[in-house]
Chains A and B, each alone.
Chain A
Amino acid sequence: MVKLRITVTLKKTVEDSEGDSVKKALKLLGYEGVKEVRAGKVYFITLAKGSKKTGKEFCEKLLANPVINECVVDD
């Protein structure tokens, strides 16, 4: 069994409206020190067999659009 954690975020160059909304909400809760929030999605995937390379294929074929996303695979 191979367990993968795949994290998909917007590239740094793409404005993250969800992250900005969360930052604003945290500030309204009194956390003035919040400098930046970047939102993203995490996929926890269990494979019967495979490797990190399989996870990278998942990024290319479905999980990320390379125009706006970064996709990081951890095992």
Chain B
Amino acid sequence: MEEGIRVNREVKVAIIVMEGTNNEEEAYQSFKHSEATPEIIHLKKLEDRKKKLSSYDIVCFPGGFSAGDYVRAGAVMAARIKSNLMRDLEEFVESGRPVIGSCNGFQTLVELGLVPNVDGDGRLEAALAPNMSNRFEARTVYLKMNRGNSLFLNEFKEGEVIKLPIAHSEGRFITRDKEVLGKIIKNRMNVVSYVDGSGKESGYPWNPNGSEHNIAGITNKNGNVLGLMPHPERVFYKYTESDWTRENNGTGMGNRFFTSAVQFVREKF
């Protein structure tokens, strides 16, 4: 009955917070209702070794404004992690277990060098610069799921167009050079793209921040780290979507990101 043991296996999720993160509750509820066991952990507890990343199956960096977005969004959180937790986090990533960061969590993953990391050396290859509109963009956007090998997108169809909310002022994805962008595209790491209602890559307002190649979300080469500017955790249920009164059947668009990852852990670990 090995199969049964795996189905009932507890999937532990570490949702890492610090001063200024604010989407941890939505992430907690999303994982909890995906039959996982989430835990909100302050970064200090990991720094003090009162908690260990290796005890968990999934790591989540939630959205928000860590350290008040001072310096650059995600930069302070990333610098703290780099100073004494980086090896633990790298080992976690190398083990193949899932890591997700949405919005501020994505900014942190980019500042850590965990995505895109096309050359595999952890050097910074990208940045999330201020939106081209110079405005805080907060609305629902259309997104095309390019899937690639992202374990978070297993339950999406290739090319499927979905809607998720965004809320950010620093979301313009910029790569270090054309070579990095070329490798991202070649390796199909640009797994989530901003599109218009018909599924075509278009300019503003469909691309809300001016990201290169309309990139909204990106995975690492191995497919186990996902960073994206939109917020799947905010639309786990249909009734938290902006147009839920028009189409009030089915589950929320964000649901499958979480159930895909939880299912992946049950099958592989």
A68 in contact with B131 given A61-B79, A62-B71 (CB within 8 Å) = no
Closest CB-CB distance, B175 to chain A, in whole Å?
7
A68 in contact with B174 given A61-B79, A62-B75, A63-B71 (CB within 8 Å) = yes
Taking a contact as CB atoms under 8 Å apart, the answer to whether A14 and B131 are in contact is no
A67 in contact with B174 given A62-B75, A62-B76 (CB within 8 Å) = yes
A68 in contact with B127 given A17-B133, A21-B134, A62-B71 (CB within 8 Å) = yes
- The interface on chain A, measured as residues whose beta carbon lies within 8 A of the other chain's beta carbons, has a size of 15
In the bound complex, how far is the Cα of B127 from the Cα of A69, in angstroms? 10
Closest CB-CB distance, A35 to chain B, in whole Å?
19
Whether, in the assembled complex, A20 has its beta carbon less than 8 Å from a beta carbon of chain B, the answer is: yes
Whether, in the assembled complex, A15 has its beta carbon less than 8 Å from a beta carbon of chain B, the answer is: yes
From 47 to 73 in chain A, residues with beta carbon under 8 angstroms from any chain B beta carbon are 61-63, 65-69
Checking A20, A62, A67 against B124 with a beta-carbon cut-off of 8 angstroms, the contacting residue is A67
Chain A residues in 8 Å Cβ range of B133: 17
Taking a contact as CB atoms under 8 Å apart, the answer to whether B134 and A14 are in contact is no
Taking a contact as CB atoms under 8 Å apart, the answer to whether A66 and B129 are in contact is no
Taking a contact as CB atoms under 8 Å apart, the answer to whether A65 and B124 are in contact is yes
In the bound complex, how far is the Cα of B75 from the Cα of A66, in angstroms? 12
Taking a contact as CB atoms under 8 Å apart, the answer to whether A67 and B130 are in contact is no
Interface string of B151-172 (1 = CB under 8 A from A): 0000000000000000000000
Taking a contact as CB atoms under 8 Å apart, the answer to whether B125 and A62 are in contact is no
Taking a contact as CB atoms under 8 Å apart, the answer to whether A65 and B134 are in contact is no
Chain A residues in 8 Å Cβ range of B111: 65
**Chain B minimum-CB-distance residue to A18:** B134
A67 in contact with B134 given A61-B79, A62-B71 (CB within 8 Å) = no
Taking a contact as CB atoms under 8 Å apart, the answer to whether A66 and B124 are in contact is yes
Taking a contact as CB atoms under 8 Å apart, the answer to whether B79 and A65 are in contact is no
Chain A residues in 8 Å Cβ range of B72: 65
A–B complex contacts, Cβ < 8 Å, 5 sampled? A61-B79, A65-B127, A67-B124, A67-B175, A69-B127
- B interface residues (Cβ-Cβ under 8 A, vs A): 71-72, 75-76, 79, 82, 111, 124-127, 129-134, 174-176, 210
List of 4 A-B pairs having minimum Cβ-Cβ separation, nearest first = A17-B134, A67-B127, A68-B127, A65-B127
